[in-house]
């Protein structure tokens, strides 16, 4: 892994990928041994002006990688004794999170994505020029329902991260933006980084445009109202300093942003559903691969898509950010990272024979599963009927999961290598099945901030879709047969002898059917015409 070899690898990979995926531009940076090993921009930050991407003078929006700065700030206050990881977070707030469950939510729950909140996306991302609420007002206005007892169920939460950022603001006595600038950006020399939105005048000319597809028009700057969860704007060169600091136990050059013992605690595994799978650290999540323990975080806004990976035992940091959603057929950042690992850390997983119970186990786990990261008490619950991985048992004891695909778009096949532990055939990805405290099956992917729960009859997606289609058919026929019935009666000179009350009831039924169909049709139009992320962006 030399600078020349890494640059040659990237030069051979990135231009082809940008063209194939219809992405305007990207930046890639690799640090090793406390220094930048290789860094380069590809494509354009402004397609119309043909402005090339620069490592140190082009700002990208790394989305939820912003959370790592929020969590680092939290840990700074933990080591100062101002935040207790296991104390009720309500004690730090000037408003209250409702006590839905006996257990209080703690900062540790927030940092491991186990506060138990449902998914809440309203007013998460808006376009520049739209009114923007303060962090306090946004959090008070959009408190999500609590659907799991805290500490029990991983369910990735942007609200939880934003709440932690507000606690940093409350405890430190400084606005969140100022605290991060004074205690992280300035010590590390991150001169081109900010959480301020819209951008300050001196940084605005450096901001890359965002695109749905590189061949399309540039989009407005995105305003992330829950800024601690995803509002950062930064350059790759600045991110390098942050990565080096975390790889060196909180130290970068003469600056120490975390004590070594605090950094070690932050990077250590805290929770996990299955020992063989990746777990959550304090803010970072494990993503071990190719025989190395890896921690990191991904980030998505509507238009920008990024990854940050740290390989502590190799002193390696890797950052990539794309300024376009692209075609969306595959995850370009995942493809780049896995090819990078395979080149510099080649690895062949050991062959493991399937247990004798493989066929029976496959039949046991077959079925549909609902993600824990979901809306459950609002209108968006309807999406749950369409977001259900289906596990199919194969005759040889292997399984397939329809939504888990490889880079060619083919559904992966999984082989059991241990009790309810599965590995991708011809790969090294893992997943497992387990039972919760009620004995209900769960599908645990190798991403520790979500779990899939076995769908009940009430949650079953195909059944719910069939019921919706049946109801729409009945309502449509009700409206369609109204004029048909009138025509038939007129043709045969027959009148319908019914009471006035019944007649009014029939009119109300038709009116309700018409309103329901209009609403569902309008919702379908909005969903089909929305750009990627407009209605469902989650700052992953």
Reading the block at residue 71, the tokens are 């969590």
pTM, full prediction: 0.90
Q: 236 CB contacts (<8 Å, ≥6 apart)? A: 27, 28, 29, 39, 41, 55, 56, 58, 60, 319, 321
∠ CA(493), CA(494), CA(495), 5° rounding? Answer: 125
Q: Residue 12's pLDDT is what?
A: 97
Query: Residue 516: CB partners within 8 Å, gap ≥ 6?
Result: 475
pLDDT the model gives residue 528: 56
Q: pLDDT digits over 278-297, tens only? A: 999 999 999 999 999 999 99
CA distance 434 to 444: 7
Helix (H, G, I), strand (E, B) or coil at 533: coil
- Peptide bond connecting 198 to the previous residue in cis, omega within 30 degrees of 0: yes
Distance, C-alpha 385 to centroid of its chain? 19
**32 torsion bin: left (phi>0), alpha (psi -120 to 50), beta (else):** beta
Q: How many other CB atoms are found less than 10 A from the CB of residue 479? A: 14
> What distance in Å separates the CA atoms of residue 358 and residue 64, rounded to the nearest whole number?
38
At 120 the pLDDT is 84
Please state, in angstroms and as integers, the Cα–Cα distance from residue 416 to each residue in 90, 388, 431, 435, following that order.
44, 21, 9, 17
What is the rounded radius of gyration, in angstroms, for the C-alpha atoms of the chain? 26
pLDDT of residue 493: 79
Cβ contacts of residue 19 below 8 Å, gap of 6+?
A: none
DSSP 139-201: HHHTPPPB-S-TTTS-B--HHHHHHHHHHHHHHHTS-HHHHHIIIIIHHHT-TT-B--SSPPT
Given a cut of 70, the residues of the chain with pLDDT beneath it are 379-386, 458, 460-461, 523, 526-540
State the pairing for strand pair 222-224/251-252.
unpaired
């Amino acid at each position: 892994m030399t600078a020349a070899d890494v640059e040659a690898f990237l030069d051979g990979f990135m231009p082809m990928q940008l063209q194939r995926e219809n992405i305007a531009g990207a930046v890639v940076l690799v640090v090793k041994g406390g220094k930048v090993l290789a860094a380069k921009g590809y494509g354009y930050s402004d397609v119309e002006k043909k402005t090339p991407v620069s490592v140190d003078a082009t700002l990208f929006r790394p989305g939820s990688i912003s959370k790592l700065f929020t969590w680092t700030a939290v840990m700074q206050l933990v080591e100062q004794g101002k935040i207790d990881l296991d104390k009720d977070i309500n004690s730090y707030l000037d408003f209250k999170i409702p006590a839905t469950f006996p257990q209080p939510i703690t900062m540790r729950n927030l940092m491991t994505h186990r506060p138990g909140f449902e998914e809440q996306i309203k007013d998460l991302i808006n376009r520049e020029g739209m009114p923007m609420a303060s962090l306090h007002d946004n959090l008070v206005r959009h408190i999500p329902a609590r659907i799991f007892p805290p500490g029990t169920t991983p369910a990735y939460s942007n609200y939880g991260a934003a709440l932690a950022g507000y606690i940093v603001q409350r405890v430190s006595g400084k606005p969140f933006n100022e605290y991060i600038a004074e205690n992280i950006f300035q010590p590390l020399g991150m001169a081109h980084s900010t959480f301020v939105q819209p951008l300050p005048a001196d940084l605005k000319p450096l901001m890359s445009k965002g695109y749905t597809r590189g061949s399309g028009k540039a989009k407005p700057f995105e305003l992330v109202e829950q800024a601690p969860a995803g509002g950062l704007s930064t350059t790759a060169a600045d991110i390098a300093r942050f990565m080096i600091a975390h790889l060196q136990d909180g130290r970068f050059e003469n600056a120490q942003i975390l004590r070594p013992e605090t950094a070690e605690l932050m990077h250590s595994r805290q929770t996990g559903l299955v020992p063989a799978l990746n777990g959550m650290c304090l803010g970072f999540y494990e993503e071990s691969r190719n025989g190395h323990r890896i921690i990191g975080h991904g980030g998505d806004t509507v238009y920008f898509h990024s990854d940050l990976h740290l390989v502590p035992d190799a002193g390696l940091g890797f950052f990539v950010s794309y300024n376009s959603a692209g075609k969306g057929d595959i995850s370009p950042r995942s493809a780049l990272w896995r090819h990078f690992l395979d080149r510099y850390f080649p690895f062949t997983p050991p062959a493991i024979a399937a247990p004798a119970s493989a066929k029976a186990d496959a039949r046991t786990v077959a079925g549909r599963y609902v993600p824990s990261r979901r809306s459950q008490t609002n209108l968006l619950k309807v999406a749950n009927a369409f977001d259900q991985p289906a596990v199919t048992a194969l005759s040889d004891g292997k399984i397939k999961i329809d939504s888990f695909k490889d880079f060619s778009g083919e559904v992966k096949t999984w082989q059991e290598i241990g009790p309810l532990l599965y590995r991708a055939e011809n790969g090294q990805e893992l997943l497992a099945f387990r039972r919760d405290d009620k004995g209900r099956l769960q599908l645990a992917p190798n991403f520790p901030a979500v779990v899939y729960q076995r769908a009940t009859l009430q949650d079953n997606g195909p059944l719910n879709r069939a019921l919706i289609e049946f109801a729409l058919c009945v309502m449509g026929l009700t409206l369609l047969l109204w004029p048909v019935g009138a025509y038939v009666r007129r043709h045969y000179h027959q009148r319908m002898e019914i009471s006035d009350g019944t007649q009014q009831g029939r009119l109300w039924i038709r009116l309700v059917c018409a309103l329901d169909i209009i609403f569902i049709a309008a919702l379908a139009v909005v969903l089909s015409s929305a750009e990627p992320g407009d209605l469902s962006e989650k700052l992953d």
